[in-house]
Structure 1
């Protein structure tokens, strides 16, 4: 009897599963270490956010549980042909990238993808404003996460003077209708604003300045946005007032505490989609075909990457 039959798990395979699970945890620990370094660099600017071993353990348990639910949501989206768009907005260093990493970490990139558009080029500036965003909208069975979105016009473009008053007003006339049109066409739209305090943003900016692995995140535009904190606040308040529609309301995520923000956002996201468990047929691993005249050739030594580690 073959011990590697599909209806039983060989002890060696079971041990491999445990190792793979530990590696999966290590991926998340690596992301957390990245956050802890940033927090440590800013320790003199804000009171330390004390975290007990129990709190840390609870965070990981909840994160992995919620990521399991995201996998179920993905299966449901694929099976039903649902189309989902999630917009993430907020000040620089508010944590948008962190939550996007945690959402996509266990998902199929062919199903769940991120749209993070650069500044428009000369040709795109002459297009209908929403045109370049439309190209990234999902087809059936897809999820698209916008790391910033068409709301650039209501935020950075307004504050930095990159759009005229007429363009700014036209955006507020068009954006609600554009979003209603998306909803009527069968695209579910969820909009999140990650909210951080003045002091927390200052701490995160200073941490990035002193972290060589994160300095790339700070552009001259980011630094200027720090100086214009109050202008961004006014722009945000006007944006909420004029684009918080019943069909696609804004949801504000308090984000001074990164871990709580991630858990709360994912939990809320799951509550907004009517997903259900999708039954799957049992997967059976087929036997490999073997040929008597086949012999695997050795790889030439000069083609191998040196085993430095």
Structure 2
């Protein structure tokens, strides 16, 4: 999808996302959105497209690092619970507790027993979230291996994107089939009526973002509230000028 067409389609969706955020604040609903998928699928870019025009005090992004020694001794879901939303808030997880259904078993970071326990316990945990009033929306961003390799190569060649390539990513790119098998097992055990998965084709990232955002908006068809008008009164005098009289001098730009 061409950039101009994408940006033209994204702008009205971002207006609708603002309407959704306004409605969530008014209704007090709590929303959790999980973004899962293979490396390079497009999770971060999609989250950025969603949050770009929203209030960061109301909409939060959670991208947790690997657990430390203390967290590894806790109940597996414990470190995620503290990031759950309060009334009127939307929380987006850039990877979530489903690390234990994908990267951890594939890369050997958990035992088979821990993996199987997670598949058994995750639906119970999610049932408790939903029963508490949280709306849980789960997305899997799907990408073919050929397209994934193109994106790996782009990251390796671009110094601005090289930070996205971790040692784990470089090892994981050889395990495309294993990740697919782990994903299928995850879907089999955790796709439930109260917390279903939605699969989105992200071979074209721009089209995938638009489709995902539209699907997210469609979860609340009656999201619109009448916006309160904002009127700016005329200034009482001439406009002020930014002046500095102290010892600190402003930068003189080169552009």
Query: When the two structures are superposed, what TM-score results if normalisation uses the length of structure 1?
Result: 0.78
Matches within 5 A, 1:187-226: 187-226=134-173
- Cα distance in structure 2, aligned partners of 1:279 and 1:77: 13
Matches within 5 A, 1:129-278: 129-278=76-225
- Cα distance in structure 2, aligned partners of 1:217 and 1:202: 14
Question: How far does residue 83 in structure 1 lie from its aligned partner after superposition?
Answer: 0.5
Question: How far does residue 296 in structure 1 lie from its aligned partner after superposition?
Answer: 8.3
Query: When the two structures are superposed, what TM-score results if normalisation uses the length of structure 2?
Result: 0.94
Question: How far does residue 278 in structure 1 lie from its aligned partner after superposition?
Answer: 1.5
Contact persistence 1:153–1:171 (CA under 8 A):
yes
Residue aligning to 1:305: 251
Matches within 5 A, 1:79-158: 79-158=26-105
Cα RMSD (Å): 1.9
- Cα distance in structure 2, aligned partners of 1:302 and 1:109: 31
Matches within 5 A, 1:1-80: 56-80=3-27
- Cα distance in structure 1, aligned partners of 2:69 and 2:5: 49
Contact persistence 1:77–1:275 (CA under 8 A):
no
Could you report, residue by residue, the CA deviation over 1:146-204 in whole angstroms, capped at 9, with x for unpaired residues?
00000000111111111112211111111001111111101000000000001000110
- Cα distance in structure 2, aligned partners of 1:266 and 1:195: 15
Asked which structure has the greater CA Rg, the reply is: 1
- Cα distance in structure 2, aligned partners of 1:96 and 1:303: 42
In the alignment, structure 2 segments of 5+ residues that lack a partner are none
Distance 1:288 1:258, change over 3 A: same
- Cα distance in structure 2, aligned partners of 1:139 and 1:300: 43
Could you report, residue by residue, the CA deviation over 1:10-30 in whole angstroms, capped at 9, with x for unpaired residues?
xxxxxxxxxxxxxxxxxxxxx
Question: How far does residue 56 in structure 1 lie from its aligned partner after superposition?
Answer: 4.7
Contact persistence 1:196–1:255 (CA under 8 A):
yes
Could you report, residue by residue, the CA deviation over 1:258-301 in whole angstroms, capped at 9, with x for unpaired residues?
111011000111111244222233223356677xxxx9864347
In the alignment, structure 1 segments of 5+ residues that lack a partner are 1-50
Residue 252 of structure 1 aligns to a residue whose secondary structure is strand
Aligned residues: 253
- Cα distance in structure 2, aligned partners of 1:296 and 1:260: 44
Q: Which moves more between the two structures, 274-283 or 252-261?
A: 274-283
- Cα distance in structure 2, aligned partners of 1:159 and 1:207: 24
Contact persistence 1:73–1:275 (CA under 8 A):
no
Distance 1:220 1:283, change over 3 A: same
Contact persistence 1:85–1:144 (CA under 8 A):
yes
- Cα distance in structure 1, aligned partners of 2:217 and 2:202: 18
